Amino acid sequence: MFALMLLILFILFVFQSSFSRSGDGVHPEPFVEIVIQCVDGSWVRVNGSGVVNCQVGRRFRVIVKLINLGDEPSPEGIDTAAGVLLAFDGGRVANYSLGDFDWAIGVAENLEVTEVNGSRIIELFSKSIKGRDMKIAYFD
């Protein structure tokens, strides 16, 4: 009976450790945060539904952060190892700074790849992101 209980505890330990949310040495934990500047100069984070709880002007600033919450880095040497896809409903990018990202593309309304300026859909790319690190880009 003791041996059976020991075997059950061993199996539970092995299964729990193999399915745990802790770092596994292979996979990063990406998280995207978007911050928008309001008309009054304050900053607000966009919630999961994309709703902004402040009034924005005709032209406003958007900060995009790609955060790796895990200790594991993304794969390295791959042009698209880490990235963020943004879609602006009713607006276009007038100016941008890639910040820590390596490159970006814009997507036109006919779904052709184009320049970032003037685009409503933008994809940011980075060749890698280290564990517990962050990449930031700015859009107007």
The tokens of 85 are what? 């896809």
Exposed / middle / buried, residue 94 (Cβ in 10 Å: 0-12, 13-18, 19+): exposed
Q: So what's the pLDDT on residue 15?
A: 47
The residue to which tokens 């517990």 are assigned: 132
Non-local (6+) Cβ contacts of 76 within 8 A are 127, 128
- Whole-angstrom distance, CA of residue 4 vs CA of residue 1: 5
Question: Is residue 30 a contact partner of residue 68, using CB atoms and an 8 Å limit?
Answer: yes
Write out pLDDT tens, residues 74-101.
888 777 677 888 888 888 899 999 999 9
Q: Running DSSP on this structure, what letter comes out for residue 73?
A: P
Length of the chain: 140
**What is the SS3 assignment for 6?**
helix
pLDDT bucket at 51, cuts 50 / 70 / 90 = confident
Higher pLDDT, 104 or 77: 104
In sign, the C-alpha dihedral spanning 62, 97, 105, 67 is: negative
Percentage of the chain with pLDDT > 90?
A: 37
Write out pLDDT tens, residues 6-46.
455 555 554 444 444 555 556 788 889 999 999 999 999 98
Average pLDDT, the chain: 81
- Whole-angstrom distance, CA of residue 51 vs CA of residue 4: 54
Q: Running DSSP on this structure, what letter comes out for residue 2?
A: H
Q: So what's the pLDDT on residue 18?
A: 42
Q: So what's the pLDDT on residue 56?
A: 84
